[in-house]
Chains A and B, each alone.
Chain A
Amino acid sequence: MTRVERLRKRTSSGLALGIALVAIGFGYSAVAPSSSAQDDGLSVEAMAGQEIYENGCITCHGRNLEGVEDQGPPLIGVGEASVYFQVSTGRMPLKQQEAQAQRKTPVYDDAEVNQLMAFIETYGGGPELPTEEDLRDGELAEGGELFRLNCASCHNFAGRGGALSSGKNAPALDQSSDLDIYTAMLSGPQNMPVFGDNQLTPENKRAIINYVQTLKDTSDPGGLSIGRAGPVPEGLIIWIVGIAGCVIACFWVGTRS
């Protein structure tokens, strides 16, 4: 709004007409690709992506990325962040229809992921990959606070993941790279809520990534992690090992030598 107002102040009425015409042109080009972009005007990379799409994705996501009922969601406007997360972690292409896609060995390599991203982007842009080199450039303590508020309820306070409803789960973050975590927050894959850049700023996101990766790298004070899953497994070990030890000791005290 403000930018338009400023421009309006500075321009004469004749110029304003020109701008209006240009705006209509842009508006048209934003709507038009959904019907005609795959025919022409694709970059080499996007065309390669289209080929991959038509071999691997089209069954569930449809000829024009419009999605197929009960098989796959529409991909128009999901953005390259979403494509990166789903394909580079091996979640897509899906092996079978199940509660949720699991991380597995990726089918496509980095170059192919880039081609797919370029192709999907031609159907309308969405969240993009971060441009920063260092995704851990954030304050650790702030990241910890944001992680506990926004992430820990599903992914566990130590990033071990946890159960959701009807067979779904929030995965453990062991294998997640910096970019995986960043694109997941940005795109909200599957049942994860979306954390757009206005909600968690890129700085916030880097702080969270720094916290998660530091947490994973930290050695366990106490020697054994016991899954880092908290008091339940710890109590179980204490119960089995400790009580068994006490019983054996009782037998030893009670027997005559």
Chain B
Amino acid sequence: MSSHAENGPPGGAQPMPGNPPQPGPGPTDEELARMSREDLVVLGAKMDGVEVVYSELVEPGSTAERRAERQVAAAFTGAGLAALAFMVIFVAWPWEVETAGGGFDLSTLYTPLLGLMMGLAITLVGIGVVLWAKKLMPYEVAVQERHEGASPEIERQTTAATLVDIGNSTGIARRSIIKRSLGFGGAMLGLMAIFPLGGLIKKPGTALFETPWEPGMRLLTLNGLPIRPDDMRPGALQTVFPPVEGGTRSADGVAMLIRLLPQQVTDYRAREGQEDFRWNDFVAYSKICTHAGCPVSLYEQETARILCPCHQSQFDAIDGARSIFGPASRSLPQLAVEVDDDGYFVAKSDFIEPIGPAFWERSS
């Protein structure tokens, strides 16, 4: 029990913060009229059960106070000046980056100076506030007595009874039709609020299973040129795109046409059922990693390994682009290629399996 228990009425009700001051051995009206402001503050705190045990004030007009004041003012003024400097630099500093000549010039300092001034302005405001609080605000330790444990039994039972009585007297407990209709109305209202988001959900259809490649489509370079076998020397890699509108931006159709070295052609092993996918010493694989969809274009021509820069997966181009290292678990899908009557590379079909990372509906 708290030290204020004797102030409360018999029965154990406690003086809580916000309760009206308890009548008791307080000052009379006369005494009250004579009390100073400091006395009233102490009295008010006492009535709430608060006691100031330690207090430390900055001496008004002291040297320490004046010094602290100057420091805070300097910090705030500095913040303003830094902000001003930011604006001046933003307008007046030579900002155009030199593309030739290199090395150091004034423009290299443009961004750092902007950042420095902005950071300085914000930091100095913070420093000023902290200095103000640390050096000029009074420091005190106050203690407030609180009762221990749960509320007394009598309070708990009366409070519970009051709540149940509210439910009964307003009829909420009985009028189930209102409750249910309110529930229905509320639920529909909530649903209505999120319903328009459904317009953002689009059925993907077969987009994940197909790419723009079709039988007879020519393999094009970035510049839109078809490729002949003698354009590429052994050990060469060419990124190829399908000849469709926006083909070079086609995220799923992009493939790598690789010309293997003679020894690698001897060692070449196709995946089952894909023996006729290569054309002599040329093979083509999807450029999208089967792990997380990064472009896998690090090609080591001597080892015929295709590396993914994102998570270091490695694929063996002479073993059907089988995954031989790293987090990717599936081979890169192979694009069946041949050469048409005009001597240019064409696709024999679309990829026979979905390219890129796994997804729910994918069977393998």
Interface contact A223-B100, CB-CB below 8 Å: no
Q: Is B166 an interface residue (CB 8 A)?
A: no
Over the window 205-241 of chain A, the binary record of Cβ atoms lying under 8 Å from chain B Cβ atoms (1 yes, 0 no) is 0000000001011111111000000000000000000
How many contacting A-B pairs (Cβ < 8 A)? Answer: 103
Assess whether B134 is in contact with A256, with CB atoms less than 8 Å apart: yes
Q: Is the CB of B231 within 8 A of A221?
A: no
In the complex, residue of chain A having the shortest beta-carbon distance to the beta carbon of B254: A149
Tell whether B105 is near chain A: CB-to-CB under 8 Å. Answer: yes
Asked if A28 is an interface residue, CB under 8 A from chain B, the answer is: no
- A220–B111 Cα gap in the complex (Å)? 10
Complex Cα distance A199/B257, Å?
A: 12
Q: Is A103's beta carbon under 8 Å from chain B?
A: no
Contact B135 A196 (CB under 8 A): no
Given contacts A165-B303, A214-B100, is CB(A219)–CB(B105) below 8 Å? yes
User: Which residues of the other chain, A, contact B230 by a CB distance below 8 angstroms?
Assistant: 198
User: Size range of the interface on A?
Assistant: 35 or more
Asked if B245 is an interface residue, CB under 8 A from chain A, the answer is no
**Contact of B103 with A by CB under 8 A:** yes
Contact A188 B135 (CB under 8 A): no
- Take A165-B325, A192-B301, A193-B299 as given contacts and tell me if A199 and B222 are in contact as well, using a CB distance cutoff of 8 Å: no
B300 touches A (CB below 8 Å): yes
Q: How many angstroms from the CA of A145 to the CA of B303 in the assembled complex?
A: 27
Chain A residues 2 to 33 lying within 8 A of chain B, measured CB to CB, are none
Within 8 A of B (CB), among A180-195: 188, 190-195
Which chain A residue has the least Cβ–Cβ distance from B294? Answer: A153
Query: What is the bound-complex CA distance between A221 and B111, given in angstroms?
Result: 7
B251 interface hit (Cβ, 8 Å): no
Q: Which of B152-160, B196-204, B235-243, B348-356 contacts A (4 or more CB under 8 A)?
A: B235-243
Chain B, interface size category, equals 35 or more
User: In the complex, A19 Cα to B16 Cα: how many Å?
Assistant: 118
Question: Distance (Å) between the CB of B201 and the closest chain A CB?
Answer: 32
Could you say which residues of chain A place their CB within 8 Å of the CB of B110? 221
Asked if A188 and B236 sit within 8 Å, CB to CB, the answer is yes
A-chain residues with CB within 8 Å of residue B90 when the two chains form the complex:
none
A193 vs B299: C-alpha distance when bound (angstroms): 7
Most buried by B among A146, A150, A191, A252: A191
* Known pairs A188-B235, A256-B139, A257-B135; A194 contacts B301 (CB<8 A): yes
Kindly provide the distance from the CB of A249 to the nearest chain B CB, expressed in whole angstroms: 8
Is there contact, CB below 8 Å, between B112 and A223? yes
Instruction: Say yes or no: B102 contacts A218, CB within 8 Å.
Output: yes
Determine if B300 and A168 form an interchain contact, defined as CB atoms under 8 angstroms apart. Answer: yes
**What residues of A have a CB within 8 angstroms of the CB of B312 in the complex?**
163
Q: Is the CB of A217 within 8 A of B101?
A: yes
B314 and A165 contact, CB distance less than 8 A: yes
Task: Tell me the B78-119 residues at the A interface (CB within 8 Å).
Answer: 97-105, 107-112
Q: Please name the residue on chain A nearest to B248 by beta carbon.
A: A149
A165 touches B300 (CB 8 A): yes
With CB as the reference atom, state the residue of chain B lying closest to A150: B239
Q: Which residues of A contact B (CB under 8 A)?
A: 145-146, 149-150, 153-154, 162-166, 168, 170, 188, 190-196, 198-199, 214, 216-223, 249, 252-253, 256-257
* 20 A-B residue pairings within 8 Å (CB atoms): A163-B312, A164-B298, A164-B307, A165-B300, A165-B314, A188-B233, A193-B301, A194-B233, A195-B236, A217-B99, A219-B97, A221-B111, A223-B109, A252-B130, A253-B130, A253-B134, A256-B134, A256-B139, A257-B134, A257-B135
